[in-house]
Amino acid sequence: MVSRFTAVGRQWLAAVALAAVTALAQGAPPHRLLSLAPNLTELVYAAGAGKHLVGVVAYSDYPAAAQRLPLIGDAFRLDFERVMALQSDLVLAWGSGTPRENVERLRELGLRVEPLSVDHLDEIPLALEKIGDWAGTAAVARPEAARFRAALAERRQALAKHHGIPPRVFIQIGRNPYYTVNDQHLIGEVVALCGGRNVFGGLSQLAPVVGEEDIVATRPEVILILDDGRDGGASAKAWQRWRQLPAVHSGHVYTVDSNTLARATPRVLVGIATVCARLQGISGER
């Protein structure tokens, strides 16, 4: 990645800084946005501001239009010269993911950077509304935020009416080694929202590595395997040698599309519907 500027880069800096100051002074909404995380890219489109995006980071693959935009690096490393060449007047940073030094460097270069905290379900509609206000697309963003809140409220009401014992759920992310998530992770939130009890929910790490023996010891009644389409069912088949586990014995080993659960965006509603359907009617052991 480029760390120092050429003379052309410095000229871009001056032009961008002037344009940004002028726009802010006139109260005009920004019209050239950069996204520093794939989930933020999705949120921009959901908020109706996709037409204003001029650059994204690697793995910004949804919606399809995002794949045609210029890349400015990845979630951790940026090509600052390319960033400046795109003449952005607003950079969206992920509050808990974008390295602080990147945010500070962009601000030193005269760019307006707005961090967004989007790690939990209730933060998704807030982020939509903020993007809509910044980009001048509130007419799209606010109804989308309201739709998301209504869907969450409906699911929470359904959970409140459910009086069964929460089934023990193992959330599998990867194999060799096994990764999982705790209850503070978005996916852990989804499992709880659907009436399940994450067997590793109380661990301190957000995404810890766990051993196979540790998993077996929890005797999960449901195993949710997150897959991006490359597993080919291998992970589900691997559990068949543990027929003594309640999840395996009862046939409650499921593969779930990780693309609908791994990012805090409105698309997580699809993942919620899938997980809730898998857990529906399963009552845990006393």
Q: What residues pair up with 193 in beta bridges, in sequence order?
A: none
Residue type, 9: G
What residues contact 16, with CB distance under 8 A and at least 6 apart? 84, 87, 88, 89, 109, 110, 111
pLDDT at 16 over 60: no
pLDDT at 96 (0 to 100):
87
pLDDT band at 8 (very low <50, low <70, confident <90, very high): very low
Most confident listed range (17-21, 125-129, 254-258): 125-129
d(CA 173, CA 209): 9
SS3 content of the chain, % helix, strand, coil (to 5): 45, 15, 40
Q: For the domain bounded by 164-279, which CATH number is listed?
A: 3.40.50.1980
What does the pLDDT read at residue 27?
56
Looking at the chain, the whole-number percentage of residues with pLDDT higher than 90 is: 79
Residue 79: the pLDDT is 95
- For the ranges 44-53, 133-142, 247-256, 276-285, the lowest mean pLDDT is seen at 276-285
pLDDT confidence bin for 13, thresholds 50/70/90:
very low
Question: Does residue 39 contact residue 118 with C-beta atoms inside 8 Å?
Answer: yes
Predicted confidence (pLDDT) at residue 12 exceeds the cutoff of 50: no
| pLDDT exceeds cutoff 90 at 4 | no
More confident residue, 28 or 163: 163
Kindly tell me if the per-residue pLDDT of 22 is higher than 50. Answer: no
Q: What is the pLDDT of residue 130?
A: 97
**Total residue length of the chain:** 286
The model carries a pTM of: 0.86
Mode of pairing for the β-strands spanning 253-257 and 209-210: unpaired
Fold of 7-144: Rossmann fold (3.40.50)
Among 28-32, 65-69, 116-120, 217-221, name the one with the lowest average pLDDT: 28-32
Domain locations along the chain: 7-144, 164-279
Q: Using alpha carbons, select from 159, 182, 131, 149 the residue that is nearest to residue 29.
A: 131
User: What is the rounded distance in angstroms from the CA atom of residue 24 to the CA atom of residue 32?
Assistant: 13
pLDDT of 10 > 80? The answer is: no
Residue 142 binned pLDDT confidence (cut-offs 50, 70, 90): very high
Evaluate if residue 244 carries a pLDDT over 50: yes
Indicate the pLDDT class of residue 28, thresholds 50, 70 and 90. low
Helix (H) or strand (E) holding 158: helix 138-161
| Same-fold call for 7-144 versus 164-279 | yes
**Token couple for 175:** 């194999």
Model confidence at 231, in pLDDT bands (50, 70, 90)? Answer: confident
